Structure 1
Amino acid sequence: MASFKIRPKFEIEVDENPETIYNNFLDEKSKMDCGCVIDAIPDHIVLKVNKNDQHFWSPQLTIILEDSDQGSLVRGRYGPNGNVWTLFAGAYFACGVFITFISIIGFSRKSLGMDAHILWVLPFLIALTIVLYLASQFGQKLGAEQMFDLHHTAQEVLGEKIHFY
């Protein structure tokens, strides 16, 4: 399950209609032997790790069900808890904004022949962005076993082998 993607996803077609798949997930939820928590509303299912086993990097699997000609199109996305995802997305956004504005100010000053010492901040911001990416990969590896459990539960309920990209 090793992946360099920040949020791996999958898309498969199954023969059953979305209501049947939804009911299958509800049946799995009632069994409660899957080792995960299943939150479901029609056409939208979220598989999470049990509260007792959760940590900061625990993944979740969000599944969207859509009608298709052959039955159902099932789209899934693995990712961290929403708070963790928002934290990292915000940090990436902040780094991008700072890099952009510091570049504009620094290179404008340089082109005008003024001191552009502010450009020395850019390597640190770029390094911070790389550290954020590496931290997200590290966190994904810490949650890999839990991601495998969620993946296995989804495969079991859908009755299909799932390959993600």
Structure 2
Amino acid sequence: MLKHRVRPVFVRPLPVEPGAFFRALDSAQEDGGLCRVCVFEGGAILRIRESDRHFWSPALHLHVQFGADGPELHGRFSPSSPIWTAFLASYLALGCIAVASACYGCAQLTVDATPWAFVGVPAAFVTAGFVYGAAFIGQGFGAEDMYELRSFVDHVAESFALGVL
């Protein structure tokens, strides 16, 4: 069954030593590819090159874990940093609104006033649900970019498996 995630993940076996794979990713970007790769110790971050990037274009975070069958490449798609920050700020603001509404509603109850402020609590939760749903709309916009990033990784990995690299 396909699980819908705000940050989709994948796992694939790595047919080569991780350092060699990440070096190959880094050198493959220099051939005028669609992706830009930032390699660091134990992983890499792939993004669509600047000229083709949109504000909804995702990043692909890669890292290696060693399992019983050898190294496995774990990938996680995430929104760009400004989009991710906006989502977290939205959740923080909605959480503050819910708490403030609950506190104000309790204060209204204490002074025997009509507790109309309690309406803010479910309103904040419903709005948070819409923000959560917006993540999936963004994935729809970035689906082609996600495909390109994943295809780039698969191409480099399969080149090792076939002995091309």
TM-score range, shorter-chain basis? 0.7 to 0.9
Aligned residues with identical type, % of pairs: 22
* Equivalent in the alignment of 1:95: 94
The number of residue pairs the alignment matches comes to: 158
Report whether the alignment pairs 1:133 with 2:108: no
Task: Single out whichever of 103-112 and 143-152 deviates more from structure 2.
Answer: 103-112
**1:8-157 matched pairs, under 5 angstroms:** 8-33=8-33, 35-68=34-67, 70-107=69-106, 109-110=108-109, 113-157=112-156
CA displacement 1:67-86 (0-9 Å, x = unmatched): 45544232211011111111
Deviation at 1:60, TM superposition (A): 1.1
Greater relative CO, 1 or 2 (CA 8 Å, sep 6+) = 1
Question: Residues 26 and 40 of structure 1 are in contact (CA less than 8 Å); yes or no, is this contact kept in structure 2?
Answer: yes
How does the TM-score come out when normalised to structure 1? 0.81
Q: Would the aligned equivalents of 1:16 and 1:71 in 2 still touch at CA under 8 Å? A: no
Q: Which amino acid aligns with 2:23?
A: N
Cα distance in 2, alignment partners of residues 40 and 7 from structure 1: 20
Q: Unaligned 5+ residue runs, structure 2?
A: 160-165
Whole-Å separation in 2 of the counterparts to 1:48 and 1:134: 23
The Cα shift of 1:138 comes to 1.4
Aligned partner of residue 30 in structure 2, secondary structure: helix
Contact 1:18–1:71 (Cα < 8 Å) also in 2: no
In 2, the alpha carbon distance for the partners of 1:73 and 1:96 equals: 37
Question: SS where residue 159 of structure 1 aligns?
Answer: helix
Q: Secondary structure at the match of 1:86?
A: helix
Letter in 2 for 1:20: A
C-alpha distance in 2, partners of 1:69/1:145?
33
CA RMSD of aligned residues (A): 2.4
Greater CA drift, 112-121 or 77-86: 112-121
Structure-2 change in CA distance of 1:80 and 1:37 (3 Å): same
| CA deviation after TM superposition for structure 1 residue 135, in Å | 2.2
**Corresponding residue for residue 163 of structure 1:** none
In structure 1, the residue matched to 2:163 is none
Secondary structure of the equivalent of 2:5?
coil
Amino acid at match of 2:123: F
Secondary structure (helix, strand or coil) at the match of 1:38 reads strand
